[in-house]
Chains A and B, each alone.
Chain A
Amino acid sequence: MNPYTELLRLSPVGVLVLAQIILFVQDLVREDKRLSQYISAAALALTCLLSVYLASSGNTVSFANSTFVFNSLAYYFGVIFSLSALLVMLSAGSFLGRAEYAFEFSSLAILGVLGSFFVASSTNLVALFVVFEMATTATYGMVAYARRSKLSAEAAIKYFVVGAVSAGIIIYGISLIYIATGSVSISSVFSVTSQSSQLLDVGVILLIVGFGFKIAAFPFHMWLPDTYEGAPYPATTYLASVSKVMGFAALVRIFLVMGPAIYALGGLNWEVIFGLLSILTMTFGNLAALVQTSMKRMLAYSSIAMSGYMLIGLALGTSFSYAVLLYFMLTYAIAKAGSFIVAQFFESEHNAKSIDDYAWLARKSPLSAFSLTIMLLSLAGIPPLSVFVAKFFIFYASVQVGGYWILLAIAGVLNSALSLYYYARVIKNMYIGLAGESPPPQGPRLERIGYMIPILTCLVLTIALGLGEGTVIAVAKHAVTTLSATVF
């Protein structure tokens, strides 16, 4: 391969590594909070654009003796990671302004994306585990970033302990798979000694449990509400978008390639496991979100519920369902990140924490309230917004597969209807206030430009991705088919 082509194809990660070095140097020369924020945002934007280009043009390049292979799938995930992280960095301005240091946050965000990018491209379970831990460690630091806040520290400790246990479970699973197959590479062809097929299955189940922590599937979700609530908002946004999609990336990477062989050799019905987790997760998340009074916690539980819908994509295991899952993750990450950013803005500007505090906010900040409305409606699955399209396709996929899998679609539709209730409550509060309370006088309208850029980006993308879903799904389909066709 032409070295320049190779360089171009590695450029998304290259840009991030370079940005990290620049950040180190910049921090040594002169501490400047704004500058480090801008550098990381610029690097993420560049990565995002490069990934979009490379994902749509279907390139492949391998790195480090084929331990990491960057193909359309990896680039597609890279788009989600860098775009969400970019949104985080854009919205983190005022948080970093108040924090003691800004350099570490920017660096951790970049390193987290770098790790996630490699997760989506690894072809080896051990390598995948190491980069997975790299990305997770970056989020530990981010969650603990508000060092003086007791909540932040508590959130970080919980997250860390549960994360450490799940890391142990993953490595246990990998070692069992290694014993069973004698190989740690993620490949569609492997063999087991006949007696150890069960060992392989147990290993795979442990992998699902370990990664289930990251995507917060029921019952491995328990850390999530506390951590989301305690972490500073930018970290929460990062967890809900980059980090969660990274968990799915690992699962997609493993099961898309190894799935059929696991079923054939070990006889493990991993699709049923995902289906079971999916129904439990979405039902639990929605029911719990119904009774929340804090906005941040409600969004946290709703993100658990969204994991449930996305798990359908894994449960069906068809190439169409994987493609829809990819599209779903993009729309989810944007809508969720956008909601958290608006919540952050409302908390810093209007001191709005509980859902009741959201009363009349549409009068005070009409544009952000409108954006939040659109994004919540999108999450609730109102056409023609993007998450609706994603849900529609994923339910369609399960109907297409037929049989008992239709149950997933039914559960999903019922849950979506249920979820409308708690999303609508926020919207109602913002626009027509609480019952029996008269509106406040028309105050000054507060909309900060620093927040409006990411919020409006999310708004436009939420609408645009719903209307123009064709191209994205075409790219996702291409990514899935190239990967499942390639043998490593």
Chain B
Amino acid sequence: MAYSEILFMFVAGVTIISALGVVVSKEIVRSAAYLILALVGVAAAFSLMDSLFMAMIQLLIYAGAVMVLFLFGVMLTRKEAPAKRRRLLSRTNLSYLILSVVLFFLVARSGLMDTSVLGGIPGPVSAIAPSLYTEFKGVLYALAGLLVTVGLGAIYIVKKEANEGKNA
């Protein structure tokens, strides 16, 4: 096994464990910390697959900007952690775990013999912009619509009550 492959396995393992940590940990700040670790792990995986650009985007946008937003949100709305403790190793959780492992193997099974290297084709980063703004400009427009909708819905949900707003 090549050295890079061992490294990849390690990175993937860390990512999965941190993802589990996000779900499992009781404290929300700790969850957020695990999430950062998971996102960094994904970035590392990208760079190990020679996709430096994707790795950078992953680091900048998700591990950076998005996480800052998350932490702000946590700080502003932070409440006491729920007193009741959930048993981690319940049979229910175990069955969910088994389920996801089965699903993983089912997907992996169909792709295992695949040798295509779609992600690995190196190309100039500068080619991304033209394709994004010409070939896929429709998707870009659609994203704009999605953001408007999300913004509108989110703002409504956190909006002050109508009479409160008048008093303030």
Kindly state whether residue B107 has any CB partner on chain A within 8 Å: yes
Provide the residues of chain A in CB contact with B116, threshold 8 Å. 179, 182, 193, 196
B145–A131 contact, CB under 8 A? yes
Interface flag for B64 (CB, 8 Å):
no
Assess whether A179 is in contact with B146, with CB atoms less than 8 Å apart: no
Q: Find out whether the CB atom of B162 lies under 8 angstroms from the CB atom of A179.
A: no
Interchain CB contact under 8 A, B149 and A134: yes
Give A145 to B141 CA distance when docked, in angstroms. Answer: 26
Partner of A114, one of B134, B139, B145: B145
Are A138 and B135 in touch, CB under 8 angstroms? Answer: no
Q: How far is the CA of A134 from the CA of B149 in the complex (A)?
A: 6
Number of interface residues of A (CB under 8 A): 43
Q: Are B107 and A140 in contact (CB under 8 A)?
A: no
Chain A, residues 189-211, CB within 8 Å of chain B (1/0): the string is 00001011011011000000000
Which listed residue (A122, A141, A196) contacts B152, Cβ 8 A? A141
A101 pairs with B156, CB closer than 8 A: yes
B156's closest neighbor in chain A, by CB? A104
CB-defined contacts of B143 to chain A, threshold 8 Å: 130
Counting chain A CB atoms within 10 Å of each CB, the highest count among B106, B135, B136, B145 belongs to B145
Do A107 and B136 have beta carbons less than 8 Å apart?
no
Q: Are B145 and A118 in contact (CB under 8 A)?
A: yes
- State the Cβ distance, B35 to closest chain A Cβ, in Å: 15
Contact B157 A176 (CB under 8 A): no
Q: Is A64 an interface residue (CB 8 A)?
A: yes
Q: What total of chain B residues lie within 8 Å of the partner, measured CB to CB?
A: 32
Cα–Cα, bound, A137→B161 (Å): 22
Cβ-based interface call for B153 (8 A): yes
Contact B162 A101, beta carbon cutoff 8 Å = yes
Identify the closest chain B residue to A17 (Cβ): B145
Q: How far is the CB of A478 from chain B (nearest CB, A)?
A: 25
User: Is residue B142 contacting chain A, with contact meaning CB distance below 8 A?
Assistant: yes
Query: Are B152 and A104 in touch, CB under 8 angstroms?
Result: yes
Contact residue among B106, B111, B141, B149 (Cβ-Cβ distance under 8 Å from A111)? B149
Which residues in window 139-168 of B have CB below 8 A to A?
139, 141-143, 145-146, 148-150, 152-153, 155-157, 159, 161-162
B134 touches A134 (CB 8 A): no
Residue B4 lies at the interface, judged by CB distance under 8 Å to chain A: no
Measured CA separation A182–B106 after assembly (Å): 21
Choose one: B106, B114, B149; the contact of A108 (CB below 8 Å): B149
B153 pairs with A141, CB closer than 8 A: yes
Given A108-B149, A111-B149, A137-B146; A63-B138 close (CB under 8 Å): yes
The smallest C-beta distance from B103 to any residue of chain A, in angstroms, reads 10
Q: Is A133 part of the binding interface, using a Cβ–Cβ cutoff of 8 Å?
A: yes
In the complex, whether B77 has a CB less than 8 A from a CB of chain A is: no
In the complex, what residue of chain A is closest to B159 when comparing beta carbons? A101
Q: Is A127 an interface residue (CB 8 A)?
A: yes
Q: Is A115 an interface residue (CB 8 A)?
A: yes
Question: Which residues of A18-51 are within 8 A (CB) of B?
Answer: 20
| A151 CB within 8 Å of chain B | no
Q: What 1/0 flags go to A114-135 for Cβ under 8 Å of B?
A: 1100100010101100110110
Given B109, B118, B153, which contacts A140 in the complex, CB threshold below 8 Å? B153
> Interface centre among A68, A178, A198, by most B CB within 10 Å?
A198
**CB-nearest residue of chain B to A142:** B153
A187 at the binding interface (Cβ < 8 Å): no
Q: Is the CB of A202 within 8 A of B106?
A: yes
Contact A108 B110 (CB under 8 A): no
Which residues from chain B contact A144 at a C-beta distance below 8 Å? 153, 157
Q: What are the residues of chain B within 8 A of A195 when measuring CB–CB?
A: 113-115
A104-B156, A130-B143, A134-B145 are contacts. A199–B136 as well, Cβ < 8 Å? no
CB-nearest residue of chain A to B107? A202
Tell me if A178 and B110 are in contact (CB < 8 A): no
Chain A positions 129-179 with a Cβ under 8 Å from a chain B Cβ: 130-131, 133-134, 137-138, 140-141, 144-145, 147, 176, 178-179
Residue A6 CB within 8 A of the other chain: no
Q: Note all chain A residues with C-beta closer than 8 A to B157.
A: 141, 144, 147
Q: Of all chain B residues, which has the CB nearest A202?
A: B110
Is B137 interfacial (CB 8 A cutoff)?
A: yes
Task: Write out the residue numbers on chain B whose beta carbons fall within 8 Å of the beta carbon of A179.
Answer: 111, 114, 116, 118
> How near does chain A come to B81, taking the closest CB pair, in angstroms?
19
Question: Which residues of A have CB within 8 Å of B155?
Answer: 104
Note all chain A residues with C-beta closer than 8 A to B107: 176, 202
Interface centre among B116, B139, B142, B161 (most CB of A within 10 A): B142
A442 at the interface (CB under 8 A from B): no
Least Cβ–Cβ distance between A28 and chain B, in angstroms: 14
Q: Which residue from chain A places its CB closest to the CB of B139 in the assembled complex?
A: A127
Contact pick for B142, options A100, A101, A118, A199, CB 8 Å = A118
Contacts A65-B138, A195-B114, A196-B116 given; indicate if A133 touches B152 (C-beta within 8 A): no
In the complex, the answer to whether A67 meets B139 with C-beta atoms within 8 Å is: yes
- Interchain CB contact (< 8 A) of B137 among A65, A108, A137, A196: A65
Offer 18 A-B interface pairs, CB within 8 angstroms, sorted by A.
A64-B137, A65-B136, A65-B138, A101-B156, A101-B162, A104-B155, A104-B156, A111-B149, A111-B152, A118-B142, A124-B138, A131-B142, A131-B146, A134-B142, A141-B149, A198-B110, A199-B111, A202-B111
Pairs of residues from A and B, 5 with the lowest C-beta to C-beta distance, nearest first? A67-B138, A141-B153, A64-B138, A198-B110, A100-B162
Q: A67-B136, A130-B139 are in contact. List 14 more A-B contacts (CB 8 A).
A: A65-B134, A65-B135, A65-B136, A101-B159, A108-B156, A126-B139, A131-B142, A133-B146, A134-B146, A137-B153, A141-B149, A141-B153, A147-B157, A199-B110
The interface of chain B, by Cβ under 8 A from chain A, is 106-107, 109-111, 113-116, 118, 134-139, 141-143, 145-146, 148-150, 152-153, 155-157, 159, 161-162
